[in-house]
Amino acid sequence: MGGQYRITGDKYPRMRRPRRRGRLVVLTVASAAVLGVGGWGTLQLIDVFTGGGDPASANGTKAACADTVSRTTVPKALPRPGTITVNVLNATTRSGLAQKTADELKKRGFKIGEIGNATKEYDKKVEGTGVLLGPAAALDTSLPVLGTQLADAERRTDPARKGTELDLIIGDGFKTLTTKADADRALTALAEPEATPAPKKNC
């Protein structure tokens, strides 16, 4: 070309592509945002499994665990044999069983009330070792204590029964009371039951 558009000299202008700075900025911001969201999510998961590091939450969990343990190890409040009065009644055709059994129960610390034959409701009608009969309130208190002395006896309650006395009604299957050593162990286990395993918790 000629005229005013003629290129003179030995240096020519270099043609460069325009830099895409805007695109780089967008990519950088997007990467930072993704990393930030990922980190936040990780912290949330850690909080979920650790209780968030909140002292109140941790204390509450420990208190719940301690409460569970305490509720499973508290022994029952049961009456002592010396506070239980037992009527010993014979429902069999064998004579002398009521008196002999009453004497042994007395040696073991129980109070003895009436000694004699069973009423018509039970006389010659008890096939097992015996029946322990008491008021409804005795079901989880004095009846289990007396039950340690005759392990195979049936336990019954009468809602209409008054007072706190219990009846030990001797049946046809009766031979003797539970041995004193076994009865004492049963009494100990009854008063101090083993702790019931509580559900596992992340304490």
Q: Write the pLDDT tens digit of every residue in 104-129.
A: 999 999 999 999 999 999 999 999 99
Separation between Cα atoms, residue 48 and residue 126, nearest integer Å: 62
Q: Output the CA–CA distances (angstroms, integers) from residue 89 to 41, 100, 107, 135, in the order listed.
A: 75, 11, 18, 17
- Greatest Cα-to-Cα distance within the chain, rounded to the nearest angstrom: 151
Lowest mean pLDDT among 40-49, 96-105, 121-130: 40-49
On the question of pLDDT at 2 being above 60, the answer is: no
Calculate ∠ Cα 60-48-68, nearest 5°: 30
Lowest mean pLDDT among 8-17, 85-94, 107-116, 118-127: 8-17
Model confidence at 190, in pLDDT bands (50, 70, 90)?
very high
